[in-house]
A and B are shown apart, each in its own frame.
Chain A
Amino acid sequence: MAIKARHKRFVLIGIGLALVGLAAMLILNAFQSNMVFFYTPTQVEKGEVPKGTSFRIGGLVVPGSLKRGDDGLTVRFAITDTSKTVPVIYKGVLPDLFKEGKGVVAQGKVGDNGVFTASEVLAKHDENYMPPEAAEALKRAQAQSKTLIMPK
């Protein structure tokens, strides 16, 4: 059977798409380290972050760590990825979704004292959407299961 011109074109397009896909994969792989929007506190601890320039760290705000300064603008809190924690100082307005125990991304630099001085704080929220009553019930259930495990 003779190969029709249109079949040949289909094959050529297929090969072309595969090559473009492969190229994109290689490029993205090469840029992997530059594609991260933020670093985790563990990476900060290990020194895997750019030195001298500002970068972003992301994680959860440690519950109970949020302290407001006397001027009402300076805030201190800690960001954790549940294994390592980085203290942060920030002067400015926090976004609506900023809450203890919730996700946060802060841009800034690490000082010599190990404190991260943020110039911008962004809230990173999760993909869960539910009415407040459901969230309340979930919280209660979690608290209950904790008290069930805790007693010794």
Chain B
Amino acid sequence: MKINWFKYSSPQTFYPLAEKMIPWFAWLAAILAVAGLYISFVMAPTDFQQGEAYRIIFVHVPAAWMSMVIYIVMAAWAGLGLALNARLSAMMAQALAPTGAIFTLLALVTGSLWGKPMWGAWWVWDARLTSELILLFLYLGFIALQSSIDDPRRADRAGALLALVGVVNVPIIYFSVKWWNTLHQGSSINMGAAPKMAATMLLGMLLMALAFWMYTVAVALMRVRCIMLERERSADWVKALSLGAKS
């Protein structure tokens, strides 16, 4: 059997599919967040050196992960759109950018709030913090560049180029704590090594990360539906949709 992979690559067929998918991801996000928050703030034990302040990791670490993952996914969609000239891919990239920017900002702000009492400084220019800040600028640059060009096709191409060039920054963020001396600590969770944290803490953090994932998918789908309507407003299927809504 030959599967038609491109069936849902047209906005017309993807629009109703996205509508069906959104509640699933939204509910999953809500359930996982409630479970994750309960484990993080009620069940997880106090840390032996940081006391209660360590609980920042339940928001900070998942947010920082998402900021990097979303960038890679966004750049992949943008690159796909560039290579295949696919409208929907570019729209997906555009839909992901604001969520990525929010998670980056969240990681930076929570880290800063934690840094003052623990390190003794709100901000330091070490490799990890600086590269994460550059990530925020990349997101903002992508959003600004796309919205500053009126022709959507050209906006997509320009944005895709920026997104793809910026991908270099992601491994730099991830490995910065390994490659250089940084004030930021190394990662507690590594491939092929036992995590350096208690099991309940780890569970809380992973549940929160999953909740953030689901939230990202739900919000990106909602946003991409708006973008589809806006960009395809003169297409027949949108017209039919609005007529159907009226009658």
Contact = CB atoms under 8 A, between A and B. Distances in A.
Overall SS of chain B's interface: loop
A115 interface: no
How many of chain B's residues touch chain A, expressed as a range?
A: 35 or more
A124 B168 contact: no
Contacts of A131: 45-48, 198
B153 to A, nearest CB: 14
B83 interface: yes
B182 interface: yes
A129 B183 contact: no
B124 interface: yes
Contacts of A61: none
A122 B48 contact: no
B117 A96 contact: yes
Contacts of B183: 37-38, 105, 122, 124
Contacts of A122: 119-121, 124, 183
B79 to A, nearest CB: 5
Interface string A94-125: 11111100100100000000000000111111
A122 B119 CA distance: 5
Interface string B125-145: 111000000000000000000
B217 interface: no
A78 B168 CA distance: 39
Contact of B181 (A9, A38, A125): A38
Contacts of A16: 164
Interface in A1-33: 6, 9-10, 13, 16-17, 20-21, 24, 28
Interface residues of A, number: 43
Contacts of B198: 129-131, 134
Nearest to B186: A127
Contacts of B186: 126-127
B118 A37 contact: no
Contacts of A128: 188, 196-197
A59 to B, nearest CB: 10
Given A13-B82, A95-B120, A122-B183, 13 more contacts: A6-B84, A16-B164, A17-B167, A20-B165, A28-B172, A36-B181, A58-B181, A94-B120, A122-B121, A124-B185, A125-B50, A129-B54, A129-B198
Interface of A: 6, 9-10, 13, 16-17, 20-21, 24, 28, 35-40, 58, 93-99, 102, 105, 120-136
Interface of B: 45-50, 53-54, 57, 79, 82-85, 117-121, 124-127, 164-165, 167-168, 172, 179-183, 185-188, 196-198, 201
25 contacts: A13-B82, A13-B164, A17-B164, A17-B167, A20-B167, A24-B168, A37-B181, A37-B183, A95-B119, A96-B117, A97-B50, A120-B120, A122-B120, A123-B118, A123-B120, A126-B196, A127-B187, A128-B197, A129-B47, A129-B196, A129-B197, A130-B45, A130-B47, A130-B201, A132-B47
